[in-house]
Amino acid sequence: MAEEIPTVMTAIEISSPGGPRVLKAGERPVPAPKSGELLVRVRSAGVNRPDVLQRQGHYPPPQGASDIPGLEISGDVVATGEGVTRFRLGERVTALVAGGGYAQYCTVHESNALPIPAGYGYIEAAAIPETFFTVWHNVFERGALQSGETFLVHGGSSGIGTTAIQLAKAFGASVFTTAGSGDKCEACVKLGADHAINYRKEDFVEAVKRLTDGKGANLILDMVGGDYVDRNYDAAAIDGRIVQIAFLNGAKATTDMTKLMVKRLQHTGSTLRARTIEFKAGIARELELNVWPLLAERKVAPVIDMVYPLHEAWRAHERMEDGQHIGKIVLDVS
């Protein structure tokens, strides 16, 4: 029997730009799936740094996307739009969405949804899409990481970092990471990092050079920006690549561009949220082919830091902003 779908739902709204307490539970109409879309009864939703930026007023949703925060969900398909062929009512899915995740119901194009891997519950499943889509595209597609190369990821204890460490190691790279405490460094090593550098105690450029016999890292994934841009150029190997995915220390940097030329570096970057449904569908296909088997075998898995009920989304944002989390923060919507 199909689930009875209400006309209104509980959703977390941003009452005004500001701190975590501006997140308020309110009522919204349940969205109707358009052609090619699924309506998902959300059971869990992942919390990500872009959600914090949106709440602060710095990262508006793309045109046509929901203003409700939340970029990844897991749950059950309860209705389908015209032309849906892949998923049926009642199937469990996890999905990347452009917004709307902090709610009891959310729509997503079926091509941006994936079946929940065998053996995973809703909490773990909701922690997969945003980081795995981001890492796959930026590390393996844009960054072209190859087996045997040396990979440096900054912020190794973050959701992105814990995912990048595991995937890079699973595909044969030597993995270095930076983190801000001994506990975080220890957690990164347990996930597979060959070396974790406590950036509060050691200069990561010197450490990477020492650990690579002066060669440097073939690929660097950076979410810090600011003064890290110039230091990444120093830490990179000849013909190295740097992929920028965020600027936690600021989007403006001063650097010596001759390093880029002399070392023949490539510095690129991307954002994912505003990319087309078709583009994200391509990443979804690659993940299902290359990563879903690893998830099913638990060779890689999302790291869960804390779980909060939906109405305490503000606490989840506080947790993210205090910087003490290791892995993913998730909302329990069920």
Q: 3-state class of 165 per DSSP?
A: helix
Q: Is 3 within a domain?
A: no
Tokens at 195, concatenated? 């070396």
The reply to whether 165 and 37 lie within a common domain is no
Could you tell me the pLDDT band of residue 164, with boundaries at 50, 70 and 90? very high
Work out how many domains the chain is built from and give that number: 2
CB 290 within 8 A of CB 266: no
What band does 5 get if pLDDT is binned at 50, 70 and 90? very high
**Residues facing residue 219 across a β-bridge:** 151, 241
Per-residue pLDDT, 250: 86
Rg (CA), the chain: 20
Please report, for residues 26, 75, 178, 238, 239, the alpha-carbon distance to residue 261 in angstroms, rounded to integers and kept in the order given. Answer: 53, 48, 26, 10, 10
pLDDT of residue 290: 98
What is residue 2's predicted lDDT score, i.e. its pLDDT? 62
Q: For residue 265, what are the CA distances in angstroms to 31, 103, 139, 173, 306? A: 46, 43, 16, 19, 38
Chain segment 207-236, per-residue pLDDT in tens: 999 999 999 999 999 999 999 999 999 999
**Mean pLDDT, the chain, whole residue set:** 97
Where in 252-321 does DSSP place strands (E)? 266-269, 304-309
User: Do residue 27 and residue 58 come from a single domain?
Assistant: yes
Residues 89, 79 contacting (CB under 8 angstroms): yes
- What is the C-alpha separation between 137 and 118, in angstroms, rounded? 23
Q: Which of 245, 269, 293 is the last residue of a domain?
A: 269
Tens of pLDDT, residue by residue over 310-327, are 999 999 999 999 999 999
d(CA 223, CA 289): 27
Establish if 2 belongs to a structural domain.
Answer: no
Q: Which tokens hold the place of 97?
A: 């969405």
- Do 236 and 313 belong to one domain? no
Scanning the structure block, which residue is given the tokens 């944002």?
317
- Provide the residue range defining the domain that includes 300: 8-128+273-332
Q: Assess contact for 307 and 330: CB atoms under 8 A.
A: yes
pLDDT at 249: 87
Domain match, 181 and 204 both: yes
Residue where a domain terminates, one of 231, 254, 269: 269
Mean pLDDT of 23-52: 98
pLDDT over threshold 60, residue 1: no
DSSP assignment, residue 111? G
Q: What is the CATH number of the domain that holds 255?
A: 3.40.50.720
Residues 158 and 140 in one domain: yes
130 Cβ contact list (under 8 Å, min separation 6) = 46, 48, 71, 72, 96, 159, 272
Q: Domain ends where: 269, 285, 301?
A: 269
User: Which residue, chain included where needed, has tokens 């069920």?
Assistant: 334
Query: pLDDT tens digit string along 267-321?
Result: 999 999 999 999 999 999 999 999 999 999 999 999 999 999 999 999 999 999 9
Half-sphere exposure of 208 (CA within 13 A, CB side): 27
Q: Same structural domain for residues 187 and 261? A: yes
Q: Distance between CA 313 and CA 287 in Å, rounded?
A: 28
What's the CA gap between 139 and 128, in Å, rounded? 16
Instruction: Supply 207's token pair.
Output: 């450490």
DSSP category for residue 312: G
Give the model confidence (pLDDT) of 49-92 as tens digits. 999 999 999 999 999 999 999 999 999 999 999 999 999 999 99
